[in-house]
């Protein structure tokens, strides 16, 4: 009996070491490739769990060793399920701002015999399935200055159509000035031979990958003036706020010129891009959740809102790793969402 308990202990100890090794390598890998952290952990744990038993097999019998590992896996499964639920239910309306490059440069772009000054930044990101993309995105400086204050004279009506009217204004006005961005996405679509769903995934994951920033109608204040989520954001990244923007919204060109965007700034950008490429798109807002998400009419599965006989699958565009048809646990009650705009 003592030997059996000893062997069981070896199994548990081996499994604990495997978990620690997997956690370390998960942190290293995730810092470099920003892929799904849960999948990375499972993969590294599987490898570690194959290697570490070699340290103990001479002193532990096979059956009791496996018993210890099995018990460890059951415990880990319970913990992992809890952490996964907690992650989804507490997912913030922002992204982590650590290793993601978020730097804007300016340069001159030759157009025929002339040249024009552009804001430009390079992005490298992965979609939900590990496919990697990289491109340079540019908007003209003159377009930025021409369009950035376009909502200043827009009147708040309080009507049910207000947000849809506001989003239509900025999307329509900015559409022709996003031609350089459209060219970049078209190039990726052609080079990667993407179908309709893959292309939509590619566009949305690019925006999901962009770090979150507050867009405020008033001035940006010190962290202690905000609720804890936003206070923590500003303590980590003091520059992740842009103030004095009418209705707390940036138009797509401005967003791509300074990379400061919150929920509806992102949904309007994606709405404009995917509308240009012929998708049937909607924007959904929630007064209850104080949030904005995308809706897309594509064959898929998951949660959706029906509007005029069509299914618009919901899409969280602010937090990473949420596919079309899925929402964080703390945003998932569809009765609290309403469609404010569609392009069809």
Q: Output the pLDDT for position 95.
A: 44
The more confidently predicted of residues 130 and 16 is 130
pLDDT of res. 97: 37
pLDDT of 117 above 80: yes
> What pLDDT, on the 0 to 100 scale, is given for residue 219?
95
What separation in angstroms does the CA of 197 have from each of 128, 179, 200, 308?
12, 22, 5, 22
Count other Cβ atoms within 10 Å, centred on residue 333.
Answer: 13
Check whether 93 has a pLDDT greater than 70: no
Q: Give the N- to C-terminal CA distance of the chain in Å, as an integer.
A: 72
Where are the chain's structural domains? 2-89, 105-342
Report pLDDT for 21: 76
Question: Is residue 159 packed enough to be buried (19+ CB in 10 Å), middle (13-18) or exposed (0-12)?
Answer: exposed
Please give the torsion angle defined by the CA atoms of residues 210, 193, 300 and 310, in that order, rounded to the nearest 10 degrees. 90
Residue 100 has pLDDT above 60, yes or no: no
pLDDT at 65 over 60: no
pLDDT at 254: 97
What confidence category does residue 111 fall into, taking pLDDT thresholds of 50, 70 and 90?
A: confident
pLDDT score recorded for residue 56: 52
> Parallel, antiparallel, or unpaired for β 281-286 and 338-342?
antiparallel
Dihedral angle computed from the Cα positions of residues 96, 103, 110 and 265, in that order, rounded to the nearest 10 degrees: 40
How crowded is the C-beta side of 292, counted as CA atoms within 13 Å? 20
Per-residue pLDDT band at 69 (split at 50, 70, 90): low
| pLDDT at residue 52, as a whole number | 64
pLDDT digits (tens, 9 = 90+) for 253-278: 999 999 999 999 999 999 999 999 99
Question: For residue 63, what pLDDT band results from cuts at 50, 70 and 90?
Answer: low
> What does the pLDDT read at residue 92?
43
Q: Return the closest-CA partner of residue 340 out of 274, 268, 250.
A: 268
Say what the pLDDT of residue 29 is.
67
What pLDDT, on a 0 to 100 scale, did the predictor assign at position 46?
78
């Amino acid at each position: 009996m003592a030997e059996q308990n000893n062997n069981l202990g070896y199994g548990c100890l081996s499994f604990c070491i495997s978990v620690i090794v997997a956690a370390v390598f998960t942190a290293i890998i995730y810092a470099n490739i920003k892929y799904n952290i849960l999948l990375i952990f499972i993969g590294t744990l599987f490898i570690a769990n194959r290697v570490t038993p070699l340290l103990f097999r001479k002193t532990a019998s096979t059956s009791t060793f496996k018993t210890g590992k099995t018990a460890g896996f059951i415990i880990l499964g319970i913990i992992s399920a809890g952490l996964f639920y907690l992650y989804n239910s507490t997912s913030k309306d922002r992204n982590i701002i650590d290793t993601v490059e978020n730097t804007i440069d300016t340069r001159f772009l030759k157009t025929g015999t002339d040249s024009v000054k552009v804001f430009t930044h390079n992005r490298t990101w992965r979609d939900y399935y590990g496919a990697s993309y990289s491109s340079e995105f540019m908007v003209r400086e003159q377009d930025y200055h021409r369009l950035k204050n376009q909502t200043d004279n827009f009147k708040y009506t309080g009507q049910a159509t207000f947000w849809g009217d506001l989003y239509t204004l900025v999307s329509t006005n900015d559409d022709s000035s996003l031609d350089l961005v459209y060219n970049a996405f078209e190039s990726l679509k052609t080079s990667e031979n993407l179908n309709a769903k893959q292309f939509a995934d590619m566009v949305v994951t690019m925006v999901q990958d962009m770090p979150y920033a507050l867009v405020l109608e008033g001035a940006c204040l010190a962290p202690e003036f905000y609720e804890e989520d936003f206070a923590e954001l500003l303590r980590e990244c003091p520059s992740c706020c842009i103030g004095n923007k009418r209705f707390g919204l940036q138009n797509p060109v401005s967003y791509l010129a300074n990379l400061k965007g919150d929920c509806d700034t992102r949904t309007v950008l994606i709405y404009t891009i995917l509308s240009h490429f012929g998708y049937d798109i909607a924007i959904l807002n929630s007064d209850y959740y104080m949030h904005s998400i995308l809706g897309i009419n594509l064959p898929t599965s998951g949660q959706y809102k029906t509007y005029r006989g069509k299914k618009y699958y919901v899409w969280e565009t602010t937090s990473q790793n949420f596919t079309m048809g899925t929402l964080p646990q703390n945003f998932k009650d569809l009765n609290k969402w309403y469609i404010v705009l569609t392009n069809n």
